[in-house]
A and B are shown apart, each in its own frame.
Chain A
């Protein structure tokens, strides 16, 4: 090997070191970039006889198996977080400790009959019964309205989320196309894969996805059990309401028939919305309906048995609903007694007005008699509060569990693909030293050539 060949080898060294510094710089620059996978410089010795170094390229360090698990873990974590968040809002409606529950209104209502029994002809006591009945029915219907409004908002959120899912699916399909095309031309697709990974990290919290890498570099995505992205084309995920009022998710190709995929939805914000809306909110709303129906049925039965100051009986205290369905939202003071305190039936017979208090006592004592499924109103309401609390506590535990797994998966992914500045600092020094050494080699060869030239010139 001649001196000029050594110079050529040193030049290889300079190029390799520069490439190393470049890749190190790229890693450092992208230390906080979502989806970025660190690059590892691929060096190899040149072919036989040359002894130089060849920069084979940059390898994008990624573990597709861990990534797939991470996407699934993110989806489950996101579903749990969404449900937890929604239940937090629901819990606030039944937070008697914080003063926003129904306990006070229930107690005040039944207590108003006790005060009426103390002084059945007192107009203030009569007006108070009406006021407390109005406050209770208002509180119950407001709570039911709040739940119904939350369900409406969740439908809107599900629609917005599916739109975001579709937008990201389109982005991934386009990136798939660019990657396939670039790879066919032998170009580095690392940056495009980073962009796609970033979009996938944004898609995973929205819906449960399974990502399968294909031979041409594209990824196929299955969401909610149906293909969302296939090579370079994306399907559309939609949401509407089923006949029973529950959310219904459908997957559809362009021009194709929609396929119901609701029951396959297991993760992401959409699954959390579905669970919170169609299970938790729906069940709590039903229990609130049962409570409202129990109260109105029981109170009406007793109230109609009594007589107002005008000697008229058979009046309802609350507006009657045909069944428990929607009873909470429809809860209101009956037009029989609304605005007419004298119509409150404190006496059990027309002959004992105005001082008869026995029916008011019986109305007051309803508070301790079974009204809802064999439970008193206070017991049934306590059960409802406990149920809401248990759902929220369960959801919070689920969040802790799922976030733990997602964090672990994230740490594993970062362990493989993430940038470690410690490593990069060492690489920086390593390539800096290599560059200096190559420079020294050139200087040495230059000195040797100069000495050779001097000797040859004498």
Chain B
């Protein structure tokens, strides 16, 4: 085939342009560490990448939600532990008050101590976390327990999305822990003890012992439930962390470039380009050779 000079020049130019393009691609792979730098590099991988990133972002969000929920639930669990201790103290005071040798003045003193415990319990039941009053149900903006122990909250669970089949409850129920909704109105039980002590009724004080124990168990049960929820949150965090890792590995498998291969390609193409430019010089100088 007869080769015209323009064809020769065009061939040289095309070859160099092609090498430059491939070099730019290899450079992008080496720089970013990714095989897929734009959707057209691998459409199927790009589509998969978009889905993986959505899943990864969702796992991030759920991890954050679990972290926030854990914070408040840990506080609630601690508060319930203290509340249980208060009832243990109340029970101890009731035991003292049921002693037959105790006189009215001593019982009044005990009543005063129990009133102090009640006040502390009201304070604990009105504890606020990052999300508002922890034992108010959905009424997080309003103090749920009055000084009397009257409850103005509700028994609504605080739920978050942690990726499970159903929303995850991350709250400890104040209603179940402190009100009759859980079986016993714990403040009323304390009030009964105070009344019995103030009326210097040994039998009345004795009668409150079982109820005080029931109240303590009620609070302990809700605390145990909060502990279980905390355990679940920890497990969820582990699972989400593993899922994140698996997604990162999938992203790497889907779009990652072998760094050694990318660097090798870059070097090889650089050498090819140098050679092509050298050949181009010779090819384009051929006319000069004739003239000399």
Q: Are A410 and B58 CB-contacts (below 8 A) given A98-B37, A355-B137?
A: no
* A425 / chain B contacts, CB cutoff of 8 Å: 287, 290-291
Q: Is A144 an interface residue (CB 8 A)?
A: no
Q: Which residues of chain B in 149-168 are interfacial with respect to chain A, using CB atoms and an 8 Å cutoff?
A: 154, 156, 158-161, 167
Complexed CA–CA distance, A407 and B14 (Å): 10
Which of under 10, 10 to 19, 20 to 34, or 35 or more describes the interface residues of A?
35 or more
Q: Is the Cβ of B50 less than 8 Å from the Cβ of A378?
A: yes
Q: Is the Cβ of A119 less than 8 Å from the Cβ of B39?
A: no
Q: Is B122 an interface residue (CB 8 A)?
A: no
Complexed CA–CA distance, A106 and B7 (Å): 51
Q: Is B69 an interface residue (CB 8 A)?
A: yes
Select B51's contact among A354, A355, A379, A419, beta carbons within 8 Å.
Answer: A379
Complexed CA–CA distance, A389 and B42 (Å): 7
Q: Is A107 an interface residue (CB 8 A)?
A: yes
Select B40's contact among A101, A392, A418, beta carbons within 8 Å.
Answer: A392
**A114 and chain B: residue at smallest CB distance:** B61
Complexed CA–CA distance, A446 and B130 (Å): 120
- Interface size on B (CB < 8 Å)? 59
Q: Is the Cβ of B39 less than 8 Å from the Cβ of A94?
A: yes
**A404 and chain B: residue at smallest CB distance:** B14
Q: Is the Cβ of B4 less than 8 Å from the Cβ of A419?
A: yes
Select A355's contact among B5, B6, B68, B156, beta carbons within 8 Å.
Answer: B156
Q: Are A95 and B55 CB-contacts (below 8 A) given A352-B154, A354-B141, A420-B5?
A: no
Q: Is the Cβ of B50 less than 8 Å from the Cβ of A385?
A: yes
Q: Is A356 an interface residue (CB 8 A)?
A: yes
Extra inter-chain contacts (15) besides given A121-B141, A355-B138, A386-B44, CB under 8 Å: A95-B38, A96-B39, A103-B53, A107-B57, A115-B65, A354-B141, A357-B159, A361-B159, A378-B54, A385-B39, A385-B46, A386-B50, A387-B43, A392-B39, A419-B6
Q: Is B20 an interface residue (CB 8 A)?
A: no
Q: Is the Cβ of A107 less than 8 Å from the Cβ of B58?
A: yes
By a beta-carbon cutoff of 8 Å, the part of chain A in contact with chain B is 31-32, 87, 91, 94-98, 101, 103-104, 106-108, 110-111, 113-115, 117-122, 347, 351-358, 361-362, 364-365, 367-368, 377-379, 381-383, 385-390, 392-393, 396, 407, 410-411, 414-422, 425
Q: Is B127 an interface residue (CB 8 A)?
A: no
Q: Determine how close the nearest CB of chain B comes to the CB of A276; give it in whole angstroms.
A: 14
Q: Is the Cβ of A356 less than 8 Å from the Cβ of B138?
A: yes
**B36 and chain A: residue at smallest CB distance:** A97
* A117 / chain B contacts, CB cutoff of 8 Å: 65, 159-161, 167
* A417 / chain B contacts, CB cutoff of 8 Å: 4
Q: Is the Cβ of A122 less than 8 Å from the Cβ of B131?
A: yes
Q: Determine how close the nearest CB of chain A comes to the CB of B280; give it in whole angstroms.
A: 16
Q: Is B246 an interface residue (CB 8 A)?
A: no
Q: Is the Cβ of A121 less than 8 Å from the Cβ of B44?
A: no
Identify which of A96, A97, A110 gathers the most chain B CB atoms within 10 Å of its CB: A97
Q: Determine how close the nearest CB of chain B comes to the CB of A182; give it in whole angstroms.
A: 27
Q: Is the Cβ of B136 less than 8 Å from the Cβ of A355?
A: yes
Complexed CA–CA distance, A439 and B49 (Å): 80
